Amino acid sequence: MAARKKDAELHRRLTHGELLQLKRWNTPTVCNGWEKITRHDAAREGFNLEETHDFMPHLGSMAGYAVTAVIEPGNPRHPADNPQGWCEYWHYIGSLPGPKIVVMQDLDKPKTFGAAWGEVNASIHRALGCVGVIVDGAIRDLDEMNHAGFKALARRLCVSHAHAHPVRWNCPVTVFGRRVEPGQLIHADKHGFLVIPPEDEARLLEAVCFMDNNECNTLISAGRSSSGLTTAQALARLDQAAADFVRAADEKFTPAPRTRRPAGARPQCR
């Protein structure tokens, strides 16, 4: 019974309120917390490997659970094969709890023939509980998507929708070099996006909050309070702050095997 209870807690989904708290930080800050609790290689896994373009940076960060789809706007066969594809796909989106982030793979990549995303789909997906989209293709109607409050990370803008049509959905996709499974937690902003493994969800918010406070209480405060100090005094203060930062993190977290730090090691500069 105790083992089942512990397993359930480890795989607990975040509430909407917790996601709203997570949304207050930028994605690098969330990554700082995630790397302290994961057993994955935080230097290679989780984040986008190719450059993204955030066309609504003023909307801030977004956090939600992935709903996935594949498109191929350059292929006219798909609308003919399944004329009801959009309606069927929208019903899939509407069947799942939010907040949701659409993760859409464009099979035309690296070419771009058309966009599935504009004023219409932004408005529809907002009504269905989605907060934004990550698509490794194009978007259009940029001003109208902004007016809808729908965030988009994409490769580029384009003019046409071409033959944009859902090919398949609720399936694994690969966007910007990162594989995403339906239902995975995603945090995204102008820096890129982070895909959280299910086993790391339950501890994520606490880890992010702790590491953000840890930076503010040590390295950042030391760096911003050096006015009037000599270089030697400033360096001494930074050395002490670095030691305090490492000690606090090590006391809070059990280092994952791949990221275990030798005793006395300083944090990486950034």
Q: Residue 208: what residue type?
A: V
Q: Output the pLDDT for position 12.
A: 79
Strand segments (E) across the chain:
53-54, 62-71, 100-106, 115-117, 130-135, 138-139, 151-154, 156-157, 166-169, 173-175, 178-180, 185-189, 192-196
Q: Residue 135: what residue type?
A: V
Distance (Å, whole) CA 37 – CA 45: 13
| Sheet strands side by side (includes 138-139) | 115-117, 138-139, 156-157
* Residue ranges per structural domain of the chain: 1-13+199-270, 47-196
Alpha helices in 40-116 (DSSP H): 77-81, 85-94
Q: Output the pLDDT for position 263.
A: 43
Contacts of residue 59, defined as CB under 8 A and 6 or more positions apart, other chains included, come to 132, 146, 149, 151
- Do 176 and 50 contact (CB within 8 A), yes or no? yes
Among residues 168, 187, 232, 197, the alpha carbon closest in space to that of 24 is found at: 187
- Do 210 and 218 contact (CB within 8 A), yes or no? no
Distance (Å, whole) CA 201 – CA 175: 21
Distance (Å, whole) CA 112 – CA 155: 9
The HSE-up count of residue 87 (CA atoms within 13 Å, CB side) is 3
* Four-CA torsion 258, 263, 264, 270, nearest 10 degrees: 10
Q: Which CATH class is domain 47-196?
A: alpha beta
Q: What predicted TM-score, i.e. pTM, was given to this entire model?
A: 0.88
Q: Output the pLDDT for position 4.
A: 52
Q: What is the pLDDT along the chain (270 residues), one digit of tens a residue?
A: 555 555 555 567 899 999 999 999 999 999 999 999 999 999 999 999 999 999 999 999 999 999 999 999 999 999 999 999 999 999 999 999 989 999 999 999 999 999 999 999 999 999 999 999 999 999 999 999 999 999 999 999 999 999 999 999 999 999 999 999 999 999 999 999 999 999 999 999 999 999 999 999 999 999 998 888 999 999 999 999 999 999 999 999 965 545 444 444 444 434
Among residues 26, 54, 33, 70, the alpha carbon closest in space to that of 196 is found at: 33
Q: Output the pLDDT for position 40.
A: 96
Q: Output the pLDDT for position 136.
A: 97
Among residues 244, 242, 207, 251, the alpha carbon closest in space to that of 25 is found at: 207
Buried b (16+ CB within 10 A) or exposed e, 107-122: ebbeebbbbbbbbebb
Residue 222, token pair as written in the block: 């030391």
